[in-house]
Homo-oligomer: A and B are copies of this chain.
């Protein structure tokens, strides 16, 4: 460890529309020093997630908005470099929420130990962490697929989407993925074992989706928003369930810039006419009660090869803004991580 200073990525200005590199700033600070009872954490991996863009929205922010000057938040895989707390020792791997910086001080609260003997530590923010648990909790609490029912998910090669389809399959449902690009299409079908995969850029996308769900859609796991919803909505069955977890296509729309016509009345009409359930959630809602179940079950599925994952690793803290910008355009292939420190 030769670094004697900390580096942090902050929000330079609230983005309007598409996120740009100039919306971020890279700052250098004094190296933080842990006090009594505290730890110095070194960030090894940053988890890059679409919700970060949602939290940067200036016009309407729901929870903990990221404002100009603020550190960009996010989960991290970190190591304890110094400990003034008898509960933790140097070298331990931990799941933390340090945000986009090389070093952080923690008093230990909210940290979770990662055992690197069980799985690579980076999985603690991915398939065996927040993203895998988001898929699991959305299916368990909202989607509730019954064996033989049809589950559809877009961004199907991504961190959450790939877990949704695989867990749905493990639970006996049919999984239909939506993505684009020859590599991702092949990965979802052949490696992840979805029953079908549809290219949303195909000119006959809606017809292909219809053909892929001969019994309609019972669960649509909403990660993307935008025009895919218009193709999904008429295919939803009576009593279909829609966990609403991400709306990546909508995050960068400018206020008031959404195109006519108004699609709300049709959506509400279908909610009423087909007795649909739409339910937004953030995985933290269910973590206290169900995270233990998930780690146990998903650990087994991961170990026996039924739950696969793929990581897209970008090197260097200074490249975190570009990594998020690329992810928002669908430029990642698998769980997006930034490797910050040496492990």
Contacts and interface: CB of A to CB of B under 8 A. Distances in A.
Contacts of A246: 272
Contact of A277 (B245, B257, B261, B277): B277
Given A277-B278, A278-B278, A279-B277, A245 B261 contact: no
A273 interface: yes
Contact of A285 (B256, B261, B275): B275
A280 interface: yes
A269 interface: yes
Contacts of A270: 62, 280
Interface string A239-259: 000001111001001001111
A263 B264 contact: yes
A262 B265 contact: no
A225 interface: yes
A173 interface: no
A271 interface: yes
Nearest to A241: B279
A303 interface: no
A337 interface: no
A280 B285 contact: no
Contacts of A275: 279-282, 285
A260 interface: yes
B269 A250 contact: yes
A273 B63 contact: yes
A338 B189 CA distance: 58
A274 interface: yes
Contact of A268 (B244, B266, B272, B276): B244
Interface of A: 54, 60, 62-63, 222, 225, 229, 234, 244-247, 250, 253, 256-282, 285
Q: Which 4 A-B pairs have the closest CB atoms?
A: A260-B260, A62-B273, A258-B262, A272-B280
